[in-house]
Amino acid sequence: MNTETTSVALTAKRCVPCEGGVPKLDRAQAEALRAQTPNWTLSEDGRKIRREWVVRNFMAGMDFLNKVAALAEEEGHHPDLHLVGYRHLAIEIWTHAIDGLSENDFILAAKIDALPIETRKSA
Ligand SMILES: C[C@H](O)[C@H](O)[C@H]1CNC2=NC(N)=NC(=O)C2=N1
């Protein structure tokens, strides 16, 4: 698992299979990677990252989540879909195999951020 923060953009990387046995990122490493995905927040315990969206309508949210699902399958790394509301979405990402954060989580987050989404038109 490549944990040092290299200059290669996260979106140019691929998630690597993780069966455990690698150290989870510490808070400094997580914050360094989070600088490349500033829309995501780090959980109190430093084990997860989270992002929320306000979307145009329910189907816009579902369309987006279906794209997220296809991306996750392609990367072999999966998010937790915490909320699918009328206009609100919340996603959390963490590496279950190590019960904490790995670079995979930030690669997935960066690729999710690059997906098209219909956010709510400002009123
Ligand atoms: C071998 C493969 O890496 C594992 O089955 C994957 C599948 N998707 C996963 N997704 C997440 N979020 N954490 C994991 O540990 C994980 N493991």
ipTM associated with this complex: 0.96
pTM greater than the 0.80 cutoff: yes
- The structural domains of the chain, ordered by start, are 3-11+24-113 (3.30.1360.20)
Query: What is the pLDDT confidence band of residue 123, given thresholds at 50, 70 and 90?
Result: very low
DSSP assignment letter at 35: T
Rounded-to-integer distance, Cα 58 and Cα 86, Å:
5
Question: Which of the listed residues 15, 47, 68, 77 should we mutate to test ligand 1's pocket, taking the one with most ligand atoms within 8 A of CB?
Answer: 77
Nearest CA to ligand 1 atom 16: 77
Is the Cβ atom of 96 under 6 angstroms away from ligand 1? yes
